Chains A and B, each alone.
Chain A
Amino acid sequence: MKKKEVWTVSEINQQQEIKPVSFELLARGRKLAQELEVPLSAIVLGDSLAERELKELIYRGADKVYWVNHKALARFVVENHSNIMQHLIKNYQPQIIIAAATTQGRTLMPHLSIRLDTGLTADCTDLQIEKETGLLLQIRPAIGGNIMAMIKTPERKPQMSTVRPKSIQVLPRDETREGKIIPVDLDDSLLDRRVTHLGYYKSEEEEVNLSSADIIVAGGRGLKKKENLSLIRDLARGLDAGIGASREVVDRGWISYPHQVGLSGKTVNPKTYLAIGISGAIQHLAGMKTAKNIIAINSDPQADIFKISDFGIIGDLFEIIPLLKKKLEEKKLSS
Chain B
Amino acid sequence: MKIIVPIKQVPETSRVKINEETGTIIRDGVENIINPLDLYAIESAIQLRENNGGSITVISMGPPKAETALREAIAMGADQAILITGREFAGSDTWSTAYALSALIENIKPYDLVITGERATDGDTGQVGPGIASFLNLPLSTYTGKIETVNKDHIIVQRLIEEGYERLQLPLPALLTVVKEIAYPRLPTLRGKQKARTIDIPINSGKDIKVKEEELGLKGSPTRVVRIYRPQVTRKGTILQVKDEKTLAESVDKLISFLKEKKIVSF
Contacts and interface: CB of A to CB of B under 8 A. Distances in A.
Interface of A: 13-14, 75, 77-79, 82, 102-104, 106-107, 109-115, 117-123, 137, 141-156, 194-203, 207-212, 215, 239, 257-258, 260, 263-265, 271-272, 281-283, 286, 289, 293-295, 301, 306-316, 319-320, 323-324, 327-328, 331-332, 334-335
B223 A146 contact: no
Given A111-B133, A293-B264, A306-B237, A156 B163 contact: no
Contacts of B31: none
A283 B13 contact: yes
Contacts of B254: 311
Interface residues of B, number: 84
Nearest to A289: B231
Given A197-B168, A272-B264, A309 B134 contact: no
A211 to B, nearest CB: 5
A324 B252 contact: yes
Nearest to A107: B142
Contact of B161 (A103, A314, A328): A103
A108 B142 CA distance: 10
B238 A154 contact: no
Contacts of B170: 194-195
Contact of A122 (B126, B230, B258): B126
A120 B224 CA distance: 10
B164 A147 contact: no
Contacts of A272: 259, 262, 264
B251 A315 contact: yes
B242 A148 contact: no
Contact of B14 (A120, A151, A282): A282
B165 A147 contact: no
Interface of B: 11, 13-14, 16, 18, 23, 25, 36-37, 93-95, 98-99, 121-131, 133-135, 139-143, 145, 156, 159-171, 179-181, 221-231, 233, 235, 237-242, 248-249, 251-256, 258-259, 262, 264-265, 267
Contact of A148 (B228, B241, B249): B228
A114 B135 contact: yes
A119 B165 contact: no
Contacts of B93: 119
A104 B164 CA distance: 13
A250 to B, nearest CB: 8
Contact of A293 (B142, B164, B181, B262): B262
B206 to A, nearest CB: 19
